[in-house]
């Protein structure tokens, strides 16, 4: 985490480990790699447990992020799927996301990221989206719409299987199912978008992607970017992250992200391979790609 308040157009940061303590471990890691924004798990990402927080750690984390103007985000567990045909999975998805939203509020997170899920059991997209509305909309309505509540950020997937939302155009029906709720936003994962078929590496590809996103969900809905390069080619439908500039997307596309009006003020968080050394390199590379004119004194 930076030692001074962040004043850039786009804070650049990382998903950080928190085993051992949000503040003591997570923020120490963030400082070591020069992160200006952080994303954390508040539960086992591959399980259904909903552990209580540590009030002392929560307050220390919240205070440190506020003092240094470092935006924080929560990533909800991967098992959540509001389109599942299994009643138990749908019930547990509600419990898990409610936990992430409440924990996000407790630690001062600006948003909670959740994958958009898939239609399982042979269900049609329409049936699955009806269940998304039934199960997820009440969670959005529980938000008080003030600055203490996090946004719920939908993260489209790479298009594997029966994904409900991978291409930007899929966000339209998903947003409609949730009545385009005022606390509903988007987390754009660059690897996912590329894998789904948005060719960010092509000339004008990044602008085309972001233009379509604004046209589909409206201005101001993009709240977070997961900045990940891709080990696989465009349209491969494989969610395999690569370090910035070492994959098929390439550095130019990430540089273009910073110049688009839709990304103004939007943090970029890496979820790239490797730990401290690799993450430091990726954070540094993204900072270098920021438009110089927005790195204010």
Instruction: Report, as an integer, the average pLDDT of 209-237.
Output: 98
Average pLDDT score, the chain: 93
Nearest in space to 6 (alpha carbons), one of 25, 28, 44, 34? 34
Residue pLDDT, tens place only, 111-170: 999 999 999 999 999 999 999 999 999 999 998 766 789 999 999 999 999 999 999 999
Residue pLDDT, tens place only, 243-292: 999 999 999 999 999 999 999 999 999 999 998 999 999 999 999 998 65
pLDDT band per the 50, 70, 90 thresholds, residue 24: confident
Q: 126: exposed, middle or buried (C-beta count within 10 Å: 0-12, 13-18, 19+)?
A: exposed
Instruction: Report, as an integer, the average pLDDT of 36-41.
Output: 97
Res. 2: pLDDT tops 50: no
What b/e readout covers 161-172, taking b as 16+ CB neighbours within 10 angstroms? ebbbbbbbebbe
Work out the percent of the chain whose per-residue pLDDT is above 90.
Answer: 88
> Domain boundaries in the chain?
12-289
- Report how far apart the first and last C-alpha atoms of the chain are (Å, whole number): 18
The fold of the 12-289 domain, in CATH, is TIM Barrel (3.20.20)
Q: 96: exposed, middle or buried (C-beta count within 10 Å: 0-12, 13-18, 19+)?
A: buried
């Amino acid at each position: 985490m930076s030692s001074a308040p962040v004043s850039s157009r786009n804070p650049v940061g990382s998903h950080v480990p928190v085993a051992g303590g949000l503040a003591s471990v997570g923020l120490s890691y963030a400082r070591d790699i020069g992160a200006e924004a952080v994303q954390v798990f508040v539960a086992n990402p591959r399980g259904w447990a909903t552990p209580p927080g540590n009030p002392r750690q929560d307050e220390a984390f919240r205070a440190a992020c506020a003092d240094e103007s470092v935006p924080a985000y929560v990533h909800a567990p991967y098992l959540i799927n509001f389109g599942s045909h299994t009643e138990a999975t749908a019930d547990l998805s509600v419990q898990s996301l409610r936990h992430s939203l409440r924990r996000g509020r407790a630690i001062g997170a600006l948003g909670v990221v959740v994958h958009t899920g898939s239609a399982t059991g042979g269900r049609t997209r329409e049936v699955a989206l009806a269940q998304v509305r039934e199960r997820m909309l009440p969670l959005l309505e529980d938000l008080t719409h003030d600055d203490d509540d996090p946004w719920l950020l939908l993260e489209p997937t790479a298009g594997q299987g029966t994904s409900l939302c991978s291409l930007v155009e899929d966000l339209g029906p998903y947003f409609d199912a949730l009545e385009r709720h005022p606390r509903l936003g988007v987390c754009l994962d660059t690897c996912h978008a590329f894998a789904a078929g948005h060719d960010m590496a092509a000339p004008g590809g990044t602008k085309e992607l972001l233009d379509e996103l604004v046209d589909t969900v409206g201005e101001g809905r993009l709240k977070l970017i997961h900045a990940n390069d891709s080990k696989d080619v465009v349209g491969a439908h494989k969610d395999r992250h690569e370090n910035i500039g070492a994959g098929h997307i390439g550095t130019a596309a990430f540089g273009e992200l910073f110049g688009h009006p839709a990304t103004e003020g939007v943090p970029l968080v890496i979820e790239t391979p490797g730990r401290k050394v690799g993450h430091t390199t990726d954070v540094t590379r993204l900072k270098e790609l920021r438009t110089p004119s927005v790195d204010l004194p």
